[in-house]
Amino acid sequence: MTSQKDTPTPLEIDSAGERGRAVREMFSAIAPRYDLLNHLLSLNIDRSWRRRAVDRLGWESQPDGFYLDICAGTFDLALELARRPNFDGHIIAVDFSKPMLQHGAQKIDQHPIAAACGDALKTPLASKAFDGAMVAFGVRNLVDLPAGLRELRRVLRPGARLVILDFAIPRGRMFSSLYRFYFSRLLPLVGRLISKHSFAYNYLPESVQAFAKPEELEERLKGAGFVDVGWVPLTGGTVCIWWGAVGGE
């Protein structure tokens, strides 16, 4: 039997299907410590990142609408929207890891959030069903990014906006060096000690390094048919928010 230590990380797997299963199993394994590590490893700044992402969603124009949180994890992004004053809509939160949804379930009591376990690349959701969609730290893990963006566009109504929050590599030489040291050395060590998973927090910096640059993701959004596309860096460029809208049809 292959030990967890010898198991290849998802980025080392050639088959898209096998890579997707490996990512799902990895997130399922770290689900019990996911929230703790998110806040600890980001020095709790991740809360402000989510606030800024929801600020870009434009939900105020349709406060009683239907919104999608894809790759929802333990619902922190969905909760950020659900708790906004004057929000009177409904949120469907989808993730392909059932343990992630289960560990976050108690957090969404009394909130208008419905959880569903499903694949972001092929959801069972109706076309043009949502007034907005958002993704936090999820598109980087999709085995087929263009397909995932096209699927998100499919479920959005004309005029609806997609907002993406994810990690990036800062560009300033000094800050970039510090960031890389923290991200590639300290973060995996702390993550491994707390999560007890041998490679999940090595996969994180590796996946960020392999992910599209901010300008590249902007072009991918345009290629998927989104309009009014833009992006902004946060916290020295360690994360970015991207957005785009579905044109009128």
What share of the chain has pLDDT > 70, as a percent?
93
Specify whether the CB–CB gap between 212 and 242 falls below 8 A.
no
More confident residue, 172 or 46: 46
What share of the chain has pLDDT > 90, as a percent?
69
Report the C-alpha gap between 31 and 144 in whole angstroms. 23
Whether 4 has a pLDDT exceeding 50, the answer reads: no
Residue 231: in which H helix or E strand, if any?
strand 226-234
SS3 6: helix
Strands (E), 16-106: 66-70, 90-95
In the chain, how many H helices and how many E strands?
Answer: 10, 7
Whether 71 has a pLDDT exceeding 60, the answer reads: yes
Q: Residues 141-196: pLDDT tens digits?
A: 999 999 999 999 999 999 999 999 999 989 877 778 888 888 888 888 998 898 88
Q: Residues 210-245: pLDDT tens digits?
A: 998 999 999 999 999 999 999 999 999 999 999 999
Report the C-alpha gap between 170 and 167 in whole angstroms. 9
Structure tokens at 216: 């590249």
Report the C-alpha gap between 117 and 129 in whole angstroms. 18
User: What pLDDT does residue 7 have?
Assistant: 61
Specify whether the CB–CB gap between 214 and 240 falls below 8 A.
yes
Q: Which of 160, 179, 183 is nearest to 171 (CA)?
A: 179
Q: How confident is the model at residue 14 (pLDDT cuts 50, 70, 90)?
A: low
Whether 69 has a pLDDT exceeding 90, the answer reads: yes
Q: Residues 82-124: pLDDT tens digits?
A: 999 999 999 999 999 999 999 999 999 999 999 999 999 999 9
**For range 67-82, the mean pLDDT:** 98
Whether 2 has a pLDDT exceeding 50, the answer reads: no
Name all domains of the chain by residue range, CATH numbers in brackets.
Answer: 15-32+43-165+212-246 (3.40.50.150)
Rg (CA), the chain: 17
Specify whether the CB–CB gap between 23 and 10 falls below 8 A.
yes
For 45, 188, 210, 214, the CA distances from 174, given in Å and listed in that order, are 21, 21, 21, 20
pTM: 0.91
CA trace torsion 118, 88, 136, 40 (10° rounding): -110
Q: Residues 190-216: pLDDT tens digits?
A: 988 988 887 888 888 889 989 989 999
Which residue shows structure tokens 């590599």? 169
Whether 50 has a pLDDT exceeding 50, the answer reads: yes
Whether 15 has a pLDDT exceeding 70, the answer reads: no
Specify whether the CB–CB gap between 62 and 90 falls below 8 A.
no
Q: Residues 16-34: pLDDT tens digits?
A: 678 788 889 999 999 999 9
Report the C-alpha gap between 163 and 57 in whole angstroms. 6
